[in-house]
Amino acid sequence: MTSRLKVGVLVSGRGSNLQALLDACGDPSHPAEIVTVISNVPGAYALERAAKAGVPTQTIDHKGFSGREPFEAALTAALESAGVQLVCLAGFMRLLTPGFVTHWHDRMINIHPSLLPSFKGLHTHERALAAGVRFHGCTVHYVRADMDAGPIIVQAAVPVLADDDADALGARVLEAEHRIYPLALRLVAEGKAVVDGERVLLRDAGGPDHSLVNPLD
Ligand code: GRF
């Protein structure tokens, strides 16, 4: 087998998406391997998940730095000394400067709990309910300087049901997140998700050939 893509995951919290990535990459035939997990929040549960999977962890607390640039310089130094080729943001709750984003251009991906470009930012499930959309979902995309923007790799749609509250809808979306993040990582690691301008071209990736209607007719 050719060498696996070396991945660094940046986290801030519970790390359920990290867990999905760890589980997928735990298979030695997966084309990516997670070589480091870095949290900006000391004691984040995600760190325990990584340790359990035998993946080295680091905590780089943004509060210990005088600003975003020095904090991000420490992140990049830690990622590069671990040999990271691709950065996965997985619930990493810091805005990133254009300098950091440019450094990792087309080498950094993120998961967001909405069907981008709808509902960028926080509280996506509440806002989807308030807007009355019939489908909601999640997106894995390459990271660009604008928040929650960048070429889309994979999306999953889930139905919004009549009696949903934000928790019920969020749980449905989270389940979909855990499916699409490993899928997107695989496509990137296999070289099947190629950035072309502001879009991603997928090669040999398969895909559904039908539309969905909510409510079903
Ligand atoms: C997820 O909903 C992800 O889409 C968003 O932050 C949340 C992180 O959850 N960016 P977890 O830490 O992966 O459980």
Q: 65 Cβ partners below 8 Å, 6+ apart?
A: 71, 74
- Does 45 sit in the ligand 1 pocket, CB within 6 Å? no
- Does 148 sit in the ligand 1 pocket, CB within 6 Å? no
Of 169, 146, 150, 167, the residue nearest 159 (C-alpha): 169
Q: Which two tokens stand for residue 15?
A: 């790390």
pLDDT at 1 over 60: no
Which residue has a Cα nearest atom 12 of ligand 1? 15
In whole angstroms, how far apart are CA 24 and each of 29, 81, 163, 173? 10, 24, 33, 19
User: For residue 22, how far is its CA from the centre of ligand 1 (angstroms)?
Assistant: 15
Q: Compute how many other C-beta atoms are within 10 angstroms of the C-beta atom of residue 125.
A: 23
Please state the rounded mean pLDDT for residues 89-102: 97
Mean pLDDT lowest for which of 57-61, 82-86, 129-133, 208-212?
208-212
Query: Residues 110, 143: contact at Cβ < 8 Å?
Result: yes
Alpha carbon distance 37, 82 (integer Å): 10
pLDDT at 107 over 80: yes
pLDDT tens, residue by residue, 36-49: 999 999 999 999 99
What angle, 0 to 180 degrees and rounded to 10, lies between the N-to-C axes of helices 166-189 and 124-131? Answer: 120
Please state the rounded mean pLDDT for residues 77-92: 98
Which residue has a Cα nearest atom 2 of ligand 1? 113
The pLDDT of residue 84: 98
The pLDDT of residue 49: 98
Instruction: Tell me the Cα Rg of the chain.
Output: 17
pLDDT tens, residue by residue, 163-210: 999 999 999 999 999 999 999 999 999 999 999 999 999 998 877 778
User: For residue 1, how far is its CA from the centre of ligand 1 (angstroms)?
Assistant: 32
Mean of per-residue pLDDT scores for the chain: 96
- Does 120 sit in the ligand 1 pocket, CB within 6 Å? no
User: For residue 3, how far is its CA from the centre of ligand 1 (angstroms)?
Assistant: 29
In the set 30, 103, 112, 136, the catalytic residue is 112
Q: Is residue 62 flagged as an active site residue?
A: no
Of 55, 60, 148, 69, the residue nearest 109 (C-alpha): 148
The pLDDT of residue 209: 73
User: For residue 217, how far is its CA from the centre of ligand 1 (angstroms)?
Assistant: 33
Q: Which of 21, 147, 177 to mutate to test the pocket of ligand 1 (most atoms within 8 A of CB)?
A: 177
- Does 17 sit in the ligand 1 pocket, CB within 6 Å? yes
Percent of the chain with pLDDT over 90: 93
- Does 137 sit in the ligand 1 pocket, CB within 6 Å? no
Please state the rounded mean pLDDT for residues 84-112: 97
The pLDDT of residue 212: 86
Alpha carbon distance 107, 8 (integer Å): 11
User: For residue 13, how far is its CA from the centre of ligand 1 (angstroms)?
Assistant: 8
The pLDDT of residue 73: 98
Please state the rounded mean pLDDT for residues 152-170: 97
The pLDDT of residue 211: 83
Indicate the pLDDT class of residue 216, thresholds 50, 70 and 90: confident
Single pTM value for the model: 0.97
Which residue has a Cα nearest atom 9 of ligand 1? 91
The pLDDT of residue 160: 98
